[in-house]
Structure 1
């Protein structure tokens, strides 16, 4: 299909598709003439992915490019690829406190949960910043809440990884894109669960 048909299929303006091509978010089509190229279903899928990453997920073009590059060229180390993907996703991590104990609150929380503490993994800095922010606002995370949240998160992680494809490239795509695309779903479900619990516990005016 031509670029106009590609844009229509993906539900985007032609100018946006051309912009994604220039920024390297969309792979080039097959050249058919000096001024024309042909695109296929793979390009439609990529455009829909880019639209999801830069829309509901809220990534910048640069962040979306980093995630897509990982999907295209994941390398052989799934753990490293996931770490780079998390680093590309908001929120930003915290700066280390010091060289000896860079993320003390996150370290203590992960140790309490019996989980791996790897200060090089971007989410550790993200956890540190979140814990500091909660404490500074006067709502520190209690041990009970940490244990409950941690158990729920681990169950979700086990569920996701049990369904990871065996092929290495597909596994990276599943893990990286799942991290980017499913986290907004989790956030929305938690907020909706709060709404439902409030209705059940507090009642609702008619």
Structure 2
């Protein structure tokens, strides 16, 4: 396909595609003339992944380039590939998860808080990387809730973890009919980043409904 068709099918402008080509994010097409090239479906798949990483996940061009380099090394490992595009596995370290205690940003979570998250994931039977960023968020949230007078620990989150487990399974079900690893990676970014606000909004709608059922009057 010509670059004009690549632009139309990907939703990325021609000047932006040319920029990605110059910067090495997108491999060159097959030259057909001095200033013309032909592109194929692999360019389209990669371009859509680039778009999702930059426009949806909000990565810089430089960070996207690092992710793509790591993706190219691990195309045969879908699990690792998803970790790379979702930020669970740091691309700049060649796809090796952080070791415990090596993260530069703890979000204020201490060792005890992280131990609570470890207990929660063990209870759920989840196998995760040694020091996932999401664990830091959960640990800090538990600490903040207690600081504000809430009587809660990791066991309080178990019902929510069970809901999250079902949601994650649904997410991965949506990847089954993708055409290949790059399509799965793109769809994972879209589902994870774009669906999160909708999931929160659905929770609010459900809260309103159940509040009305339990406490609402005739109105």
Q: TM-score, normalised by structure 1?
A: 0.68
Counterpart in 2 of 1:87? Answer: 89
Counterpart in 2 of 1:12? Answer: 12
Q: How does 1:117-156 map to 2 (within 5 A)?
A: 118-119=129-130, 124-136=132-144, 138=147, 142-143=153-154, 145-156=156-167
Work out whether 1:116 is the aligned partner of 2:116: no
Counterpart in 2 of 1:184? Answer: 193
Q: How does 1:1-206 map to 2 (within 5 A)?
A: 1-69=1-69, 71-85=71-85, 86-88=88-90, 96-97=100-101, 103-116=114-127, 118-119=129-130, 124-136=132-144, 138=147, 142-143=153-154, 145-161=156-172, 170=180, 172-173=181-182, 176-200=185-209, 201=211
User: How far, CA to CA, are the matches of 1:161 and 1:10 in structure 2?
Assistant: 23
User: How far, CA to CA, are the matches of 1:45 and 1:77 in structure 2?
Assistant: 17
Q: Which sections of structure 1, spanning at least 5 residues, go unmatched?
A: none
Query: 3-state SS of the aligned residue for 2:56?
Result: coil
State the number of aligned residues.
193
* Aligned residues: CA RMSD: 3.9
Residues 71 and 84, structure 2, Cα contact 8 Å, conserved in 1? no
Offset at 1:155?
A: 1.9
User: How far, CA to CA, are the matches of 2:116 and 2:185 in structure 1?
Assistant: 26
Q: Which sections of structure 2, spanning at least 5 residues, go unmatched?
A: 92-96, 103-110
Deviations 1:121-178 (A, max 9, x none): x5x2431244225524646764454212211222233345567659xx93x4465434
Q: TM-score, normalised by structure 2?
A: 0.64
User: How far, CA to CA, are the matches of 1:32 and 1:12 in structure 2?
Assistant: 22
Offset at 1:187?
A: 0.9
User: How far, CA to CA, are the matches of 1:2 and 1:48 in structure 2?
Assistant: 16
